[in-house]
Chain A
Amino acid sequence: MFFKQVWRNAAKNRKGNGLFFGSLVIAIVAFYTLLSLGEQDVMIYLAKVESDAVRKLLMLLPAVYVVSLFFVFFLVYFACKYQTDSRKREFGMYLMLGMKRSRMFFMLFLETLWSSLISLLIGIPVAFFLTEGISLATARMVGLGIIGHHFSFSMSAIIWTVCGFVIVQLIAMLIICVRLAKTQPADFLSSGAQEKQISMSISQSTEFFAIGVILLFVAYYLGVFRLHTLDARVFLTIIGCGIMGTFTLYKGLGGFLGRQIKRKSPNAVGLQTFTSRQVQENVLSQHKSLAVASLLLLMAFACVSYGISMGFGRSASRSADFSMFGEEQQINSILEQEDVKEMVKTSYPMYLSMIKQEYWEGEEKEFDMSRFVAAVAKVDGTENILENLHIDYIIAESSYNQLLKSMDKDEINLREHEVALYSSMATDGNFGIMVEESLKNNAAIGIDGTEHAIASKLYYDNIVADRAITLYMALIVPDELFYELAREPEVYCQNVRLKDELVDELGLMQAVSKMDDRLAQTGVEYDSFLVGIGRNLFYTVSASYLTIYLGVLFWIIANTVIGLKYLIQQRQTKHRYKTLSMLGAGTEEMCHSVKKQIQIFFMLVLVVAVISSVAAIYSMFTSFTKLPIGTNMHMVVAISAMVLFAFVLTEVIYIGVVKRTASKEVSAIN
């Protein structure tokens, strides 16, 4: 009998409350998706090329798992609270019929476990297919190919998912039961605890609202104009002002809304005043939840933006796919072979050399950097760069032009007495941006008494296939000057770039692998772009995946918190709709009011979150996460637009679900 009741109650909970059940399933999907990261095709591949980095990432996973547990706990707690709140009368009845509290709690725990089991049975297959989908999609996107894909069912991920989920659910239920244990049967049986209208003096609420706005603006100002100094005190002040500002803003918002309602109510018709008062009441009693939800949404936006930028920031642009070293004749004979030839788009010699020693000793011949140093010094924040400023290498203009041509980029046209600056570090955040800015200050280099202007554009495309080889700074000089200055004026290596059709057909990784296999047979010394792709992939996958994952998790939790908070409040004030109906309000009119309340309620959270996000993302991209120069802005804008669209779409769907649930409850009153 007892177990039959447990089973029935759990079934009723699932049927009657999709939002509750949906939240549980989302929690499971969230855990499994994170924990099975190591089983993803891309990760398995990366473990081969970048085993150290992958191991470090996998060591980081438990920490992210604990963070997720913490946040998912709130999701589950609110879902369970919503569920138990709606069953208060039932609990009161049990107690009055003589059921012991301990037995009632035991029943609730069994119901929770039973619901957990059903959620797991649904959630794990959903999570499995989702991760497989992500695995296939990323593999395809990065050119890994999907032929070698195998279904990976991670047992350890399942075990940890089950443990985490059950523990989180039981802790949530335990907290709820402690609260229920203190409730008297009469309080259970009363139609629902009515929140008293919290009255705060108008001047007091105005103060809170104003202080909140000021604190937020201080945070925005510091973020936009001061964060680039990367000073820890500035960072802490921004965090402090932002959090406190958001909380005080919402604390004062109820009073602010009250004043607006009072001003408008003499001319209000229909349920306008009622709708606004409902929203105001929600804001007054839930201002802390609203602030938390708004901050979570801000974190979600920031995480996703950071994740995407990390994907971009670390993307190694493809220049040369292979660099071959050795005798020119031997290399040429290999490249002439039919099967190699049909894979190669272009090949060219790369002239790269150190500058002759005598230019640095500087008695007969001189290499004068003073104007370049002065130009760099004019740019703020270049102290570190100035300390290490040195140019040891030169690249021949013709080789570099061939490299640019192979990438379908514009070639350099150096004028007389002009050189260009090269740095393979330019894609690392601020460095490239500051150096390029300094080039605009009439930077020049004196070579043997002649002033050579430095072109205002900084060049950074990798001159060899191996990304591990970096050049801090080098000069791209006209070929004649190259031969004059070079310590070893011979060909450094022969660069090869694969045909675009081949890459399109097989995916970059497989195309490079194919050529790699072929070259391995020839015995010639060469470097391939494979490691470059590997590292690029690793950063894209690990940094982007984890931050986007956390972003999505925050976003789901924030929405669920707002939705459930609203629904809990509506359920507590359900009798009002009965009164409204008796006063002549139609069901449609009431549903319209409910929908409007939800819309405003969500908007109050979203608007603050979006404004803060704009400031936060702007600050982020102008300080520690600068997009590297040369990033395809169209691509960034397109991806941002897609992400924004996905956000708006899912937000609309979410608000729609809450609206439908709330309208259904109101319609049932009549």
Chain B
Amino acid sequence: MNTSDRILQVENLTKTYGKGDNKTEALKGISFDVLEGEFLGIMGASGSGKTTLLNCIATMLRPTSGRIILKGQDISGFKGSKLADYRGKEIGYLFQEFELLDNLTARENITLPLSLHGITAKKAEADIQALAVMLDITEVLDKFPGQMSGGQKQRVAAARALVSSPDIVLADEPTGALDSKNSKTLMDKLATINKEQGKTIMMVTHDANAASYCSRIMFIQDGCIFHELRKKINKESTADFYDRIVAVMAQLGGGSVNVL
């Protein structure tokens, strides 16, 4: 592995909540790298620390110790406009509940990260159109979220996460609030974007189906990396990969004694 391929490095990351007797260690010194163009899935039981990890990378939480390095820059110390720039330009975030601003139209929602950095919708019109075509949302661009289906909302949210061409897209259970049909459509779109544009995606999920679209999956248990699965590119079908994921999940549920 070439060092220059690594887009994200997480080194010895810890996160502790509370003090004294009430101390809870959510992350216990996690280290891993994410390569450019990778589709990384993070799985684990509730309370395993996967969302805490994603939130630390997204700067929604400040880690207790350790470093997060995105493209050679340690983001732990970012503040003020540097932090705002990081959030708006270098990462794209996809929420479980979409978090679209319901008083803005789809177009205005998608444009928001750009206009926050001084780019008008007029200038970005071509990019917005291209994304809308790719995510199949051209018809809802001038509608308000209240007038869209859940799937359309999440695809608009995906367009918003991608519009500023971030280095990495962080997704927190993006299919969590969608039915199976809309989940599949969304995952197909994300996989296409990952393959065709080489966009790096890091996704936290419970859903083995959604995880089977990933190229690598990291399993977390009690704040530590517990296991890792890699898809055998060109050799393994999504269905086979799904079976392997389910097997590991069964192990996770049954405890570490029987692991592999």
Contact = CB atoms under 8 A, between A and B. Distances in A.
A281 interface: yes
A576 interface: yes
Interface in B201-252: none
A584 to B, nearest CB: 2
Nearest to B97: A575
A35 to B, nearest CB: 45
A584 B85 contact: yes
A573 B125 CA distance: 28
B15 interface: no
A91 interface: no
B116 A277 contact: no
Contact of A277 (B84, B99, B108, B125): B108
B58 to A, nearest CB: 7
B144 to A, nearest CB: 4
A273 B103 CA distance: 10
Given A583-B160, A586-B80, A576 B101 contact: yes
Nearest to A279: B103
Nearest to A194: B102
Contacts of B108: 265, 273-274, 277
Nearest to A197: B144
A196 interface: yes
Nearest to A573: B103
B42 to A, nearest CB: 18
B132 to A, nearest CB: 15
A600 interface: no
Interface in A132-149: none
A575 B102 CA distance: 11
A199 B144 contact: yes
Contacts of A194: 102
A181 interface: no
Contacts of B81: 586
B87 A197 contact: no
Contact of B118 (A270, A273, A274, A585): A270
A584 B161 CA distance: 11
B156 to A, nearest CB: 13
B103 A280 contact: yes
A278 interface: yes
Interface string A199-225: 100000000000000000000000000
Interface string B53-74: 0000010100000000000000
A85 B125 CA distance: 40
Contacts of A273: 104, 108, 111-112, 115
A274 B95 CA distance: 19
A589 interface: yes
Given A199-B147, A584-B84, A584-B88, A265 B103 contact: no
A354 B211 CA distance: 111
A579 B101 contact: yes
A268 B101 contact: no
B85 to A, nearest CB: 7
Nearest to B60: A582
A196 B103 CA distance: 8
Contacts, number: 95
A583 B144 contact: no
Interface string A575-612: 11011111111100100000000000000000000000
A408 to B, nearest CB: 65
A583 B113 contact: yes
A271 interface: yes
A281 B103 contact: yes
A272 B115 contact: yes
Q: In which size bucket is the chain B interface?
A: 35 or more
A521 interface: no
A570 B118 CA distance: 25
Contacts of B259: none
B23 interface: no
A269 B115 CA distance: 4
Contact of B99 (A199, A579, A584): A579
A269 to B, nearest CB: 5
Given A266-B120, A582-B60, A197 B103 contact: yes
Contacts of B104: 273-274, 277
A384 interface: no
B153 interface: no
The main secondary structure of chain A at its interface with chain B is helix
A575 B99 contact: yes
B115 A266 contact: no
A584 B87 contact: yes
A102 interface: no
B116 A271 contact: yes
B122 interface: yes
A266 B108 CA distance: 9
B89 interface: yes
B92 to A, nearest CB: 9
B103 A278 contact: yes
B103 A270 contact: no
Interface string A250-278: 00000000000000011111111110011
Contact of A584 (B102, B116, B121): B116
Contact of B122 (A267, A277, A280, A586): A267
B47 interface: no
Nearest to B142: A262
Contacts of A270: 115-116, 118
Contacts of B93: 582-583
A277 B103 contact: yes
Given A269-B119, A586-B84, A274 B112 contact: yes
Interface in A541-588: 573, 575-576, 578-586
Nearest to B98: A579
B142 to A, nearest CB: 8
A265 B85 CA distance: 22
Contact of A582 (B58, B80, B115): B58
B102 A266 contact: no
A267 B111 CA distance: 11
Interface string B157-173: 00010000000000000
A266 B118 CA distance: 12
A491 B83 CA distance: 94
Nearest to B99: A579
A266 B122 contact: yes
A585 B89 CA distance: 11
Nearest to B117: A584
Interface string A39-75: 0000000000000000000000000000000000000
Contacts of A274: 101, 104, 108, 112
A583 B88 contact: yes
A266 B128 CA distance: 12
B77 interface: no
Interface in A281-317: 281
B198 interface: no
B202 to A, nearest CB: 15
A101 B115 CA distance: 47
Contacts of A269: 115, 118-120
Contacts of B111: 265, 273
Contacts of B147: 197, 199
B103 A581 contact: no
Interface in B3-41: none
Interface of B: 58, 60, 80-81, 83-89, 93, 95, 99-104, 107-108, 111-113, 115-122, 125, 144-147, 160
Give the top 10 A-B pairs by smallest Cβ distance, nearest first. Answer: A584-B88, A584-B87, A266-B122, A197-B144, A281-B103, A579-B99, A586-B84, A277-B103, A266-B121, A584-B84
Given A197-B146, A274-B101, 10 more contacts: A197-B103, A267-B120, A273-B104, A273-B115, A573-B103, A576-B103, A580-B101, A583-B87, A583-B160, A584-B85
11 contacts: A265-B107, A266-B121, A267-B121, A273-B111, A273-B115, A274-B101, A277-B101, A277-B108, A576-B103, A579-B95, A580-B116
Interface of A: 194, 196-197, 199, 265-274, 277-278, 280-281, 573, 575-576, 578-586, 589
